Structure 1
């Protein structure tokens, strides 16, 4: 039993240390995703250890496990309601009307189009973004174009297609290819009927994994390129999509600081989305960040619709005069800015291993 206990404790230590190693290879980055599960695993090992209290080294191992639990919990508690933040959920006389948005990685090979269409009809978002949407999905979503007359479509067959639909007027929109000519981001300037303007960014960088990209260089370069672009925009900004990243990773922290945006999960919830079919192995990788003049009323996942991701639903309003969230903005220092520039350069240089047309195995 002692050998099992030591093996479990060693695994917990290794999984904690791996993300701290400054390498972009997926073997070091993948443990970032599982911080919640790793903490539960270490807690289980700690409890299991109480059955071995008579061993001479028991105190040392248990003390180390307790330190690891504290280390992970200090980060994770920020994404729960136990972390105190000033949160404003009620709009005022200077606020816009409430705006609802859905962001969904639909999974390119999901053919159950009607389940997603019914989900849109049920929740009635003002805007929605689909990722991994190809030509088949574009054709299926045409039934929504009367309700959503404004759209921006980037139809690709490589699992990185994106489609943005809006009931609200899109003044102008652009497709960016920041780090590769097959990884798009959407920038759309939107004007509401009550006279408020904001800029929407939809993003979906490639993940570091044994089955996709070997490193996180393209993902990180793409995210930080968006952050660099966002920083220069003076309008309210909302960035949403499948980041293939978690909010507590180093590159997410750099993104937040470089863009001067706020993570709405802080003080609220993890909002875990992937994998939709395995609740215990579910990671919060469909993220969202917003400027200080956007106020989140609700942020949650919605029901399954056949994809491997759960969709994210957000309801928010804009208030240009309310300064209550300004103190939540963190800004990158000179060293972090230099690091971000280097990561962007590395992302552009990295050659991805994607096919132009991806078919289901």
Structure 2
């Protein structure tokens, strides 16, 4: 038991230290995803220590575990209701409540009707699908009477993206910031009550042993979007499968560069992947928004057969409410230079992806 205790503690220290090393290889970036699980295991290991036959240095080791817990807890508490942020009430000059669903549908998931029923049940004004290919596009045609506006990027490489809306699309742009097979979408919309806003859909590639060896393309893509967002003088939200977590260095750099707000802060983790394994679920389907967009509800919805849970959001727009300005953090000159470097590295990275991906 003592040996198991020492092995667990050594592993937890390693998983804590690896992300501190500023290397974009997946070995250093993947442990960021499991910070919630790592924190749970720190607590379990701490209490496990009392059931061992302690040897010399026992309280020293327990002290290390307490330090690890405080380190992770200080970061994670910001993404819980324990971290107090000001609540905002909808006022007369704001827009009507709006809703969207964002879902990585998993390209090889054929349970189309479960997702269609989910949309029919929630009735969002707009929804975004990622990993949607030609089969998904055909299946979703039954919704086009209710969602007459759309922007479709049909790909078979697990990076297809489809956007459907009841709100009029004024302009739609497809961006390929770092690679010609990794799209992002920029949708300009205008509501019936006269509120214009911009919706970005993103899905950069993840750093992993089975996909991209580094996070360079992911980080370059996200920071390119951040720079683009900063130049748009309308309410903006960026939504999608970021293949990243909100507390990672690149996510924080994205937030500071774009001047957007993370609605998870003071709310919840909103973990989405993997849909089938609750104890091994990471919050990688993120969203960020500008100061004049106010989030009323942000949560996950039921599983429809994908490996990701869908995200549901209720929000409104208020141009005259400045109460969220204090939540915006601005990148300093050093951080801006780092963002530029990461963008260039992302563009130079040669991701080896097949144009058509088959299951297995």
Take 1:71 and 1:221, find their aligned partners in 2: how far apart are those partners?
28
CA contact (8 A) 2:2 2:53 kept: no
Moved over 4 A (4+): none
8 A contact 1:33–1:283 mirrored in 2: yes
Aligned to 1:179: 178
Which residue pairs with 1:12 in the alignment?
12
Structure 2 matches for 1:114-193, cutoff 5 A? Answer: 114-193=113-192
Conserved? CA contact 1:52–1:58, under 8 Å: no
CA distance in 2, matches of 1:82, 1:264: 14
| Structure 1 partner of 2:102 | 103
TM-score by structure 2 length?
A: 0.99
1:341 maps to what in 2?
340
Equivalent residues of 1:42, 1:65 under 8 A apart? yes
Name 1:69's counterpart in structure 2: 69
Give the whole-Å Cα distance in 1 for the aligned partners of 2:354 and 2:109. Answer: 19
Which structure 1 segments of 5+ residues have no match?
none
SS in 2 for 1:200: strand
| Coordinate RMSD, CA, aligned | 0.7
What residue number does 2:93 align with? 94
Q: TM-score, normalised by structure 1?
A: 0.99
Inter-partner Cα distance in structure 2 for 1:29 and 1:87: 33
Report how far residue 51 of structure 1 moved: 2.4
Per the alignment, residue 255 of structure 1 pairs with: 254
Which residue of 1 is the match for residue 221 of structure 2? 222
Structure 2 distance, partners of 1:54, 1:319, is 59
How many Å separate the matches in 2 of 1:51 and 1:357? 53
Residue 55 (structure 1) shift: 2.0
Note the C-alpha offset of 1:198. 0.2
Superposed displacement of residue 4, structure 1: 1.3
Shift of 1:52: 3.7
Q: By how many angstroms is 1:50 displaced?
A: 1.6
Cα distance, 1:3 vs. partner?
Answer: 1.5
Q: Which residue of 2 aligns with 1:51?
A: 51
Q: Distance in 1 between matches of 2:291 and 2:87?
A: 12
Partners of 1:53 and 1:357 lie apart in 2 by 56
Alignment of 1:236-251 (within 5 A): 236-251=235-250
SS in 2 for 1:280: helix
- Number of corresponding residues: 360
Aligned equivalents of 1:355, 1:280: Cα separation in 2 = 32
Q: Give me the whole-angstrom Cα distance separating, in 2, the residues matched to 1:240 and 1:74.
A: 26
